Amino acid sequence: MIKKNFFYKVETKKAYTLLELSISILVISILITGALSMSVSRAGKKKVEITNQRIEIIYKALGNYLVTNKKLPCPAAFTDKKSVSVNYGVASTSYGNCADTGIDGVYKSTSNSNLVYGMLPVKDLGLSNEMAEDGFGNRFSYVIDKNFTANSVYPYSNIATFGVATSNDIITIKESNGSVASEVTYDAIFAIISHGANKKGGFLPNSSSANNSASDSYELENHPSAFNNSSNPREATFDNIFYSKNGNSDAFDDIVFYKTRNDLVKDFNAFDSVICTSSSVNSNDVTYNGTVMTWPNTAYGRTVESTTSCPAGFTYSVAKPTKKCGAFGIWEEGTIKPCLTAPAGVCSGGDIVISGANILHIFSENGTFVCSNNVSVKLLVVAGGGAGGYSSSGYGAGGGAGGQVIFNSDTYNLTFGQIVSVNVGKGGLPYVGNGLQGGNTILSGAITLEAAGGMGGGASYADSCVVPSSVTNAAGGGAGYCDSASASGGSGTQSGGGSVVGGLNSGGGGGSSANSGSTPTTSTSDGNLGYGAAGTSVALTGFDYGGGGGGGTNSYFNATATDGGGQGGKIGLPNGVAGTNGLGGGGGGARYGKGSKGGNGVVIIYYQPTP
């Protein structure tokens, strides 16, 4: 049998050539590198995301701090290490004031003394220590104008220095998209800086020294180039310019967050933290006849009266205009209630005030009243009050009488151009003896009328007294104490002065043109005191006029007085109290020395304008 040889084809693996192997290694290397780059890129983006999230939380905390404290916090110290210091993240105001001097680890700019540089005060903001650091493990840097960290200095509890600090030309933020840098804003009040993945210029949580400086020229602007730890306060070399972007550099990786004052106020509805002042915008936009109106400091939304009175001829509506404080410390334009001149066809003279349906011309000084057409007027005329009497040795002198008050329903018809001259009576002056009589108030010209000044109070001596004289139309002054003897004050045809019946060595109260002088009381609390008589109540103005002055007394009690009359003298108040100007009250009688001056009178001419 013939056997055939069979040959079998065996498949064998062919080896890679050197070229093929090289290409394979290159491909694998590229794939691995790409995977690593994608991983690093994702990690970097995550850290940026964490940084931005923390900045957002920090900004909300800063806003809440502003609303509560009406200011922003000072920086905390970079020299406090997270692992060892309990003051890590505590604002410098906890143990110093960044508005005055620097402390360890908080640095003042060498080129702008208002700028301070430190770490975020997370403790004061109610945040954890972790929030003081960005996503890359650096501490955030916090730079702020110290003027916005100062405590309140104004009388309102909700007004702070934050509202008056200059908000222009503070921190300038720039960005570069190429070779040229452009300005984003020039009035940021703070900046929060993350020093990015390269950590250049930042502080690590457990290091009191800054990392190496940045190589990028714009990034170098975002941290001090040098620190002086031996100066007091500590200083660092940095200016007020910071960069948020450099599109021409791969080395720049800082994240800069900033806000202007107005942005911050608007974002957190903190308008009441910014006040209007006498030098704020629109503070001098109201002028009358060359007189510029000035305004006091006040908070947002408040309406205040000017510190300057309306000039002569502009008092038709109000004595002083009012103005409202608007948002961001800017006064609203114009006024709420302006100074006005009297409308055509109405009268002029005195201070003009509208009261209900009436126009009032108030004369506290001499003047003239004239109308440009026919008008019917009514009058309130008050004379000057008498001065309180003199006391030689601690015995109570009599109180001065109030000036005569003329107020009735009489109407005076004036025609175009008729002039009324007004001479307002002044209060009587103190004298060594009886107080002097107040001046008469006199109207002449188109209207003729006269009110008599109140008589002065009687003097008191150790063993005698002088009774005030009786004068036609004048109210009688109170009698001085006469060594326990009874005595009556001057009678006058309008009213009699108070009587003296002894007790506490007191003088009689002054009379008024409305009532007789009071008789000293005998209550157990104050003994026998001469009270000034009540004056005349005038519904037109809501005031009472012409009250008598109280009698003096040799005790710790004194005779009170109303309706413009002054209190009588007592121990600790030897001369009593003057009568009120414009109400014609009598002056208080003395306990020792001269009594007090009587109050000046007043004239009010009033009418209702013709429709």
pLDDT tens, position by position, 3-37:
444 434 445 455 656 666 666 666 566 555 554 44
Residues 215 and 302 in one domain: no
Q: Please give the biggest Cα pair distance in the chain.
A: 184
Residues spanned by the domain of 135: 44-269
Helix (H) or strand (E) holding 262: helix 261-267
Candidate ranges 278-282, 375-379, 454-458, 564-568; pick with highest mean pLDDT: 375-379
Of 289, 319, 341, the domain-final residue: 341
Is 595 a member of any domain?
A: yes
Mean pLDDT score, 368-384: 90
Q: What are the residues facing 143 on neighbouring strands? A: 117, 191
Residue 95 exposed, middle or buried by CB count within 10 Å (0-12, 13-18, 19+): exposed
Mean pLDDT score, 528-539: 78
> Which tokens go with 490?
């001057």
Is 567 a member of any domain?
A: yes
* pLDDT beyond 80 at 59: yes
pLDDT band at 124 (very low <50, low <70, confident <90, very high): very high
Is 36 a member of any domain?
A: no
d(CA 227, CA 170): 21
- 383 near 586, Cβ under 8 Å? no
Residues 419 and 535 in one domain: yes
pLDDT band at 273 (very low <50, low <70, confident <90, very high): confident
Residues 543 and 414 in one domain: yes
Is 406 a member of any domain?
A: yes
Residues 449 and 575 in one domain: yes
Task: Quote the pLDDT of residue 575.
Answer: 87
Residues 156 and 118 in one domain: yes
CA distances from 260 to 132, 172, 184, 186, 344 (A): 22, 10, 11, 9, 50
Residues 469 and 529 in one domain: yes
pLDDT digits (tens, 9 = 90+) for 210-233: 999 988 888 999 999 999 888 878
pLDDT band at 240 (very low <50, low <70, confident <90, very high): very high
Candidate ranges 22-26, 279-283, 485-489; pick with highest mean pLDDT: 279-283
SS3 9: coil
Is 6 a member of any domain?
A: no
d(CA 98, CA 102): 6
* pLDDT beyond 60 at 44: yes
Task: Quote the pLDDT of residue 37.
Answer: 44
From the DSSP assignment, how many helices (H) and strands (E) are in the chain? 2, 25
Residues 6+ positions from 320 with CB-CB distance below 8 Å: 305, 306, 307, 308, 309, 310, 339
Residues 193 and 310 in one domain: no
d(CA 16, CA 264): 69
Task: Quote the pLDDT of residue 2.
Answer: 42
pLDDT band at 474 (very low <50, low <70, confident <90, very high): low
Give the start-end residues of each E strand in 309-357: 322-324, 351-355
Of 341, 357, 390, the domain-final residue: 341
Least confident of 311-315, 403-407, 523-527, 581-585: 523-527
Task: Quote the pLDDT of residue 382.
Answer: 92
Of 317, 341, 365, the domain-final residue: 341
Question: Position 563: which residue type?
Answer: D
Which is more confident, 475 or 78?
Answer: 78
Query: Hunting for tokens 């309180």 — which residue is that?
Result: 388
* pLDDT beyond 90 at 556: no
* pLDDT beyond 50 at 308: yes
Task: Quote the pLDDT of residue 43.
Answer: 63
Residues 406 and 356 in one domain: yes
Is 147 a member of any domain?
A: yes
* pLDDT beyond 60 at 524: no
- The tally of CA atoms less than 13 A away on the side-chain side of residue 157 is 1
Terminal Cα-to-Cα distance of the chain (whole angstroms)? 154
Residues 301 and 261 in one domain: no
Is 8 a member of any domain?
A: no
Residue 519 exposed, middle or buried by CB count within 10 Å (0-12, 13-18, 19+): middle
- Average per-residue pLDDT for the chain: 80
Helix (H) or strand (E) holding 35: helix 18-69
Is 395 a member of any domain?
A: yes
Residues 352 and 462 in one domain: yes
Task: Quote the pLDDT of residue 239.
Answer: 93
* pLDDT beyond 70 at 195: yes
Residues 295 and 196 in one domain: no
Residues 391 and 333 in one domain: no
Query: Hunting for tokens 């290694």 — which residue is that?
Result: 25
For the chain, the domain total comes to 3
- 323 near 303, Cβ under 8 Å? yes
Mean pLDDT score, 566-573: 79
